[in-house]
Structure 1
Amino acid sequence: MTDNSAFFTLKNGELVPAPQARSPWSADMLHGRLLGGLAARAIEAEHGDPDFHFARLTIDLFRNSPLLPLSVETTRIREGRRIRVVDATVRTEQGAVARAGAVLLRRSEPPAGEVWSTPAWDAPTPAELGPPPPDTLSLPFDLWRLTDWDEGGSNRAWVRETHPLVEGETMSPFVRVALAADFASPLSNSGTAGLHYINADYTLALSRLPVGDEVGMESSGHLSDAGIATGQCALHDTAGPIGYCLVTALVNPGSVLGRQVAGDQRGSRPR
């Protein structure tokens, strides 16, 4: 039977991670994507507003986090008529492990005229593809690879969450895309020898929130030099493009994740 239990359980005001919350880089490290999801969850719960749209979210992953209970603190930095800015810090008993910054913009009527827009991609939808195939990385979410990542070209994939973030809670579209966006790093930074880069941050820029459970990603850029990389992806749902994700990453010496590498690959996030 598939275990679809939550990544975290809320106990005494803290978020206690489950075993499936670990990173594929190390068995004793929390997956960075979950820190982004927790930050998005707290920002949305404490500062969300139907009249405002989550236009930008940046997640800084500056410290390894072991599988310890976490808490998230948020601060409203700016409250304007059309813009709201929020910061969040994710902590364990060892101190801060990540921070986030969000920009919320007030919704309004679109202007007259037309502006060129990113076209919808021609990828088949998950419904058309059928059940996701087994993946050698043993990832805790569904993954449809639409390209061969070992060829070193532009990559495409659909991802879909299979675990709730927090026990007893329904995942919102904002949290869902915040979790998915972390995958922009392996998608844009993988090469013919696998993935050698581990991301230090990621930034989401969204024109709208996703509809449905799946988030599609297409790498549209990669640059690297001296062991430092930056990559970008366009994000889609089954209705069309929704935004972009930009990541920065650095080489993780002695560790590699790739198509033939098992999910228990040992390594660490160098900080």
Structure 2
Amino acid sequence: MSTELAHFTLTEDGAYLPTPFAQSHWGDDHLNGPAVVGLVARALETHCGSDDFMPARLTTDLFKAARGVRTTVEVRVVRDGRRVRSAECDVLQDGTAVARATLLQYRRSSPPPGETWIAPVSAPKPPQPDGDTLPYVGSDDGGWTRSPAAHQNTSRKCFFNDGIDVVAGEKNSPFVRAAMVAESTSLVTNLGTKGIGYINGDLTVALSRLPLDDWLVVQADSHWTADGIAVGTATLFDHQGAFGSGMVTAVANPAAQIDFSTRQFPIAELNYE
């Protein structure tokens, strides 16, 4: 496998081979959420994206554990209208779908007249990137560090990352980068005093515009739990301010609890789930 900082290598026949950087902490030979989300975002944008349309909402259902095996994608346009474009993407391994995504795009235009309510939001102040590829994790009680272990607390969490490339040798687009970093909504909302015990089965990322920066912040907004089910929301920021939202639903997975204070992970593993 390639050691280049990318989740997949692309084969001559159009398939994707996961690299070690796509490995998840949830189990042996599991792929992490950002790798799968990045793959569907790339596929949908490549097949049906255009400058006239804004990729406003991507929802990815992660209903089966993706493995470190040959992977393919299938994209279909559901509707290509004058103002709204909808498409779907399946991620396939060994002939079986392991994830399905839907992308809703709107034609760009001018805003209507008048002013609307805007939620007050306090923009986080992340550290200056130092050339290292490792992301930053932050919390109100722990400040900013390169490890989530210092943030196993009950305070508000943030994540600051640029997202490694989906495919080796191909730079991520702003949309793909936003979708991948938004998958850390699960990290910033589900990280508690004993680590992460909820595994997300989906991600919805909604964007009002594309990000302007490589490094993006995900800041937790809400986290609600009952009967082993969790719902978390977060806001996405670049240097200009908030530009989108992330939402995940998750199910309790205590048998594979990720306790960052007791487990040692290779420095090459850039994703925490």
Shorter-chain TM-score category? 0.7 to 0.9
What are the Cα deviations for residues 160-202 of structure 1, in whole angstroms up to 9, with x where unaligned?
Answer: 22x3210121110111011111110121112222210010001
1:152 matched residue in structure 2: 154
Q: Matched residues in 2 for 1:186 and 1:92: separation?
A: 26
2:146 aligns with none
Other-structure match for 2:263: 262
After TM superposition, the score normalised by the length of structure 1 is: 0.87
Deviation at 1:37, TM superposition (A): 0.6
SS of structure 2 residue aligned to 1:245 = strand
Distance 1:192 1:235 in 2: 24
Q: Supply the distance in 2 between the matched residues of 1:10 and 1:80 (Cα, whole angstroms).
A: 31
> Partner amino acid for 1:210?
P
Match of residue 26 from structure 1: 27
Q: For 1:25 and 1:244, how far apart are their aligned partners in 2?
A: 25
Provide, for residues 91-136 of structure 1, a one-character-per-residue CA deviation record: whole Å limited to 9, x for no partner. 0115111000010001111122222224453422432xx5389xxx
- Alignment-mate amino acid for residue 8 of structure 2: F
Structure-2 separation of matches of 1:211 and 1:119 = 21
* Range that drifts further, 246-255 or 53-62: 246-255
TM-score by length of 2: 0.87
For 1:203, the aligned partner's letter is: T
Q: Deviations over 1:42-95 (max 9, x none)?
A: 100010011100110000000012100111111100111100000000001151
Q: How many Å separate the matches in 2 of 1:117 and 1:79? A: 31
CA distance in 2, matches of 1:14, 1:253: 34
Match of 2:193 in 1: 192
User: 1:132–1:143: 8 Å Cα contact kept in structure 2?
Assistant: no
Indicate the residue corresponding to 2:10 in structure 1.
10
Is the partner of 1:59 in helix, strand or coil? strand
Q: Could you tell me which amino acid in structure 2 is paired with residue 131 of structure 1? A: D
Aligned residues: 254
Tell me the secondary structure at the aligned position of residue 75 of structure 1: strand
C-alpha separation between the residues in 1 aligned to 2:85 and 2:123?
A: 35
- The aligned counterpart of 1:60 is 61
Structure 1 alignment gaps of length 5 or more: 134-139, 266-271
CA 83–231 in structure 1, closer or farther in 2 if over 3 Å, else same: same
Q: Tell me how far 1:146 sits from its aligned partner.
A: 4.2
Distance 2:46 2:167 in 1: 13
Q: Deviation above 4 Å: which 4+ runs of structure 1?
A: none
In structure 2, list runs of 5 or more residues that go unmatched.
Answer: 143-150, 267-273
For 1:132 and 1:123, the matched residues in 2 are separated by 20
Match of 1:38 in 2: 39
Q: Aligned pair in 2 of structure 1 residues 117, 261: CA closer, same or farther (>3 Å)?
A: farther
| 2: CA distance, partners of 1:210 / 1:145 | 20
In the alignment, is the contact (CA less than 8 A) between 2:123 and 2:242 conserved in 1? no
**Are the counterparts in 2 of residues 125 and 238 from structure 1 also a CA contact under 8 Å?**
no
CA distance in 2, matches of 1:80, 1:244: 25
Q: Using the alignment, how far apart are the partners of 1:141 and 1:62 within structure 2?
A: 28
Q: CA RMSD in A?
A: 2.0
Counterparts of 1:118-157 in structure 2, within 5 Å, are 118-119=119-120, 121-127=122-128, 130-131=129-130, 141-147=134-140, 148=142, 149-157=151-159
- 2:104 alignment counterpart: 103
What's the counterpart of residue 227 of structure 1? Answer: 228
